C-alpha cells in the first residue's frame, strides 16, 4: 500500500492518523513503578522508554500530563522500569487500566530504591528522577540508573501498530555479524 503522508503544515491532522504513524515504530513494553514517601505504590504501562546515556547511565520515558499517577512519580523522585517478557501481556494490560490500587492482587517485592520490582521481568532499571522536561501534553522523565538487572534467557514483549507482538530473529543472518556492527552506542 502507498505511503500515507500527514502534512501538519498544510491541514489539521487527525490525531488518530498521527498515532497510526507513530505506531509503526515497534517498541518493547515496560511497567514503570514508584512508591511515595507515604508508601503509596503506583505502576503504569509505558512504551515510551528509551536509553539515553551510557556515562552517566541515564534513561528516559514520557508520561501524559493528565495521568492520575503523575503526582506520585513527581513526589517520590524515584522509579523503576520493569521491562516485560512475552509472557506478560496480561500484566501490561493490568497496568494500563486505571484502578485505585493496581497492586492489591500482587505480592511485589521492593527493589533497592523502594519501588515495586515485578517478578519474572526481562530487565529492570532502578532510577532516581534526575530531571523533568515539559513537552506538549507529556512530561519527559529522565532517570539516573542506580541499579539494573536483566535475564538473558527470556524474550521481550513487543508493541507494534497497536498490538502486542513477539520478536523473531531474521533467518539467514549470522548473529555475530549483527553484533559486530559499527554501532557501539546505546542498545
Ligand X SMILES: Cc1cc2nc3c(=O)[nH]c(=O)nc-3n(C[C@H](O)[C@H](O)[C@H](O)COP(=O)(O)O)c2cc1C
Residues that bind ligand X (CB under 6 A): 29, 42, 44-48, 61-64, 67-69, 92, 96-98, 159
**Of 67 and 148, CB closest to ligand X:** 67
Write down the least CB distance from residue 138 to ligand X, Å.
Answer: 7
Minimal distance in Å, beta carbon 80 to ligand X? 15
> How far is the C-alpha of 172 from the C-alpha of 9, rounded, in Å?
43
Q: Which is nearer to ligand X, 133 or 178 (CB)?
A: 133
How many whole angstroms separate alpha carbon 145 and alpha carbon 90?
27
Q: Which residue has the cell 509472557?
A: 87
| Residue 64 beta carbon to ligand X: minimum distance, rounded to whole angstroms | 4
CA 136 to chain CA centroid, Å, is: 19
The smaller minimum CB distance to ligand X, of residues 42 and 126, is found at 42
Angle at 57 between CA 158 and CA 66, to 5 degrees: 55
Closest CA to 108 of 46, 30, 33, 38: 33
Cα of first residue to Cα of last residue in the chain, in angstroms, is: 31
Nearer CB in complex with ligand X: 99/120: 99
Q: Which is nearer to ligand X, 88 or 92 (CB)?
A: 92
- Least spacing, CB of residue 65 vs ligand X, in Å: 9
Give the residue with the Cβ less far from ligand X, 61 or 79: 61
Report the distance separating Cα 97 and Cα 102, nearest Å: 9
| Buried b or exposed e, range 17-48, using 16+ CB within 10 angstroms | eeeeeeeeeebbbbbbbbbbeeeebbbbbbbe
- Closest distance to ligand X from the beta carbon of 20 (Å): 15
Minimum distance of ligand X from residue 27's CB (angstroms)? 8
Amino acid at each position: 500500500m502507498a505511503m500515507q503522508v500527514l502534512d501538519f503544515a498544510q491541514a489539521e491532522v487527525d490525531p488518530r492518523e498521527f498515532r497510526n504513524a507513530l505506531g509503526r515504530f515497534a517498541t518493547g513494553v515496560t511497567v514503570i513503578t514508584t512508591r511515595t514517601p507515604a508508601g503509596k505504590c503506583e505502576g503504569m504501562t509505558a512504551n515510551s522508554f528509551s536509553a539515553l546515556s551510557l556515562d552517566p547511565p541515564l534513561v528516559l520515558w514520557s508520561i501524559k500530563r493528565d495521568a492520575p499517577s503523575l503526582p506520585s512519580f513527581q513526589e517520590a523522585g524515584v522509579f523503576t522500569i520493569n521491562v516485560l517478557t512475552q509472557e506478560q501481556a496480561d500484566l501490561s494490560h493490568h497496568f494500563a487500566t486505571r484502578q485505585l490500587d493496581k497492586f492489591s492482587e500482587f505480592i511485589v517485592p521492593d527493589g533497592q530504591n523502594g519501588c515495586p520490582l515485578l517478578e519474572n521481568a526481562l530487565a529492570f532499571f532502578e532510577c532516581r528522577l534526575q530531571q523533568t522536561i515539559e513537552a506538549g501534553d507529556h512530561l519527559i522523565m529522565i532517570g539516573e540508573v542506580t541499579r539494573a538487572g536483566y535475564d538473558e534467557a527470556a524474550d521481550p514483549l513487543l508493541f507494534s501498530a497497536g498490538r502486542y507482538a513477539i520478536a523473531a530473529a531474521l533467518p539467514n543472518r549470522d548473529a555475530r555479524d549483527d553484533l559486530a556492527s559499527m554501532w557501539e552506542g546505546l542498545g
